[in-house]
């Protein structure tokens, strides 16, 4: 499924000014991204969140997709340890899957049980499954640069800092 995004104002990316032509519409494929998330070790989980964010950057900026990472989004507002809340997040993620035709699996950190479930669900629905690795991508340095920019900007940001 493609979505249309209206005209964009000018912006700067890697030091180059980018202006979308007047009236131009950019089409992007809606995709589900599978990457590892949950882990009992908080350091590994933090690394998984960073990896998911880098995967999103790769999808958005270099594959020109409109990605959904429900495991990254819904866990910001739902408690993974509460079965009812976790089930609600999983159901919402599955609803998004119905709107897509492709699942992208970023496998650099292995394939978790949750990722296996997502791959199986995509296959059962007849959706394309594509495997990618960030470590081998030709724009690895640019992904890392963009990630560093956002992590610097959001470092230390918390609910108490916003309030």
Stretch among 82-91, 92-101, 135-144, 152-161 having the lowest mean pLDDT: 152-161
Structural domain includes residue 2:
no
Structural domain includes residue 17:
no
Nearest-10 Cα torsion for 119, 125, 131, 137:
-120
Residue 17 pLDDT exceeds 60: no
pLDDT at position 151 is: 82
CA distance linking residue 148 with residue 40, whole number of Å = 25
Residue 3 pLDDT exceeds 80: no
51: domain CATH number?
Answer: 3.40.50.10400
- Residue 156: pLDDT band (50, 70, 90) is low
Q: For residue 57, what are the contacts with CB-CB under 8 A and spacing of at least 6?
A: 143, 146, 147, 150
- Residue 155: pLDDT band (50, 70, 90) is low
Structural domain includes residue 156:
no
Structural domain includes residue 21:
no
Q: Which domain holds residue 58?
A: 26-151
pLDDT at position 30 is: 95
> For residues 153 and 118, which has the higher predicted lDDT (pLDDT)?
118
Tens of pLDDT, residue by residue over 107-118, are 999 999 989 999
Structural domain includes residue 1:
no
Burial tier of 92 (Cβ tally within 10 Å: 0-12, 13-18, 19+):
middle
Structural domain count, the chain: 1
Structural domain includes residue 162:
no
Tens of pLDDT, residue by residue over 46-81, are 999 999 999 999 999 999 999 999 999 999 999 988
Structural domain includes residue 14:
no
Structural domain includes residue 131:
yes
């Amino acid at each position: 499924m493609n979505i249309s995004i209206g005209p964009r104002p000018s912006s700067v990316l890697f030091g180059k000014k980018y202006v979308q032509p007047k009236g131009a519409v950019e089409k992007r494929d809606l995709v589900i991204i599978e990457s590892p998330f949950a882990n009992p070790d908080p350091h590994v989980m933090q690394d998984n969140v960073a990896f998911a964010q880098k995967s999103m950057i790769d999808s958005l900026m270099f594959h020109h997709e409109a990605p959904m990472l429900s495991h990254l989004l819904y866990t910001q507002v739902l408690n993974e340890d509460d079965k009812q809340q976790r089930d609600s997040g999983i159901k919402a993620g599955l609803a998004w899957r119905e709107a897509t035709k492709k699942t992208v699996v970023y496998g650099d950190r292995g394939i978790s049980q949750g990722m296996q479930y997502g791959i199986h669900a995509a296959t059962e629905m007849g959706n394309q499954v594509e495997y990618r690795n960030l470590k081998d991508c030709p724009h690895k340095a640019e992904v890392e640069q963009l990630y560093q920019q956002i992590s610097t900007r959001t470092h230390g940001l918390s609910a108490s800092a916003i309030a």
